[in-house]
Amino acid sequence: MKQEVNPQTTSRAYAFEMWMKAPMPMVTFFKTLNVKRLVKVSRQTGMKFNMLMCYCIGKAASGIKEFYLLPEAGKLMQFDGIAVNTIVMKRDGEVASCDIPFSKDLSLFNRQYMQLTTQVSESGINHDLPDSMVIGTSALAQYDIDGAVGMYSGPYNNPFLIWVKYKHRLLTTTLTVSFQFHHTQMDGAHAARFLNALQQEINNLTC
């Protein structure tokens, strides 16, 4: 569920005044993550690496209150739930969008991820959860590029993560991610805390 809130009653009052009408309100951070644990769990369980990334993203975000607020159409909306979006390849080779409701239960999240992404792939119809605060993701896992930044189009203010192919090092496996967020929703310190929390969730992942 989502509802409009008065920005002045929230911790984002100053940010709303400063950034809501800014011509370029999006900020992008880059971080290189150690995903050795994620790769190991994926190989041991057969769970998809991308699903595990989405799960860790949702779990890290769920502990940061700013993720439950989002500017929409000049208003500040509050949500009681989070979803993680992933891009799905359709049968015709084009792509579609799939929102997966976040659950701290990894088995449940995995089942919903597999069910919904299969449904979207086969039907070619997007699966949207408009009543959830959706964190966008895009995985270009087959490409070895240095980084990517999300496109800000105005209506879409949601936080967004992009990552590419992970790289094997001597003692670890690394993955560079970009994280774009609207400055009304959170400050740089909140974004940095989220990325640190994401690394911790990856390190502590159990199955």
- On whether residue 17 sits in a domain, the answer given is no
CATH number at residue 34: 3.30.559.10
Please give the average per-residue pLDDT across 12-32, as a whole number.
Answer: 94
Residue 140: predicted pLDDT:
86
- On whether residue 131 sits in a domain, the answer given is yes
- On whether residue 12 sits in a domain, the answer given is no
pLDDT digits (tens, 9 = 90+) for 29-53: 999 999 999 999 999 999 999 999 9
- On whether residue 13 sits in a domain, the answer given is no
3-state secondary structure the chain: CEEEECHHHCCCHHHHHHHCCCCCCEEEEEEEEECHHHHHHHHHHCCCHHHHHHHHHHHHHHCCHHHHEEEECCEEEEECCEEEEEEEECCCCCEEEEEEECCCCHHHHHHHHHHHHHHHHHHCCCECCCCCEEEEEEECCCCCCCCCCCCCCCCCCCCEEEECCCEECCCCEEEEEEEEEECCCCCHHHHHHHHHHHHHHHHCCCC
pLDDT digits (tens, 9 = 90+) for 60-74: 999 999 999 999 989
- On whether residue 161 sits in a domain, the answer given is yes
Question: Please, what is the average pLDDT of the chain?
Answer: 94
Residue 121: predicted pLDDT:
95
Residue 154: predicted pLDDT:
67
- On whether residue 127 sits in a domain, the answer given is yes
**pTM of full prediction above 0.75:** yes
pLDDT level of residue 153 (50, 70, 90 thresholds): low
- On whether residue 31 sits in a domain, the answer given is yes
pLDDT level of residue 185 (50, 70, 90 thresholds): very high
Residue 141: predicted pLDDT:
82
Residue 147: predicted pLDDT:
78
User: How many domains are contained in the chain?
Assistant: 1
- On whether residue 14 sits in a domain, the answer given is no
pLDDT level of residue 148 (50, 70, 90 thresholds): confident
By residue range, what is the domain housing residue 192? 2-7+25-203
Lowest average pLDDT, out of 49-53, 99-103, 147-151, goes to: 147-151
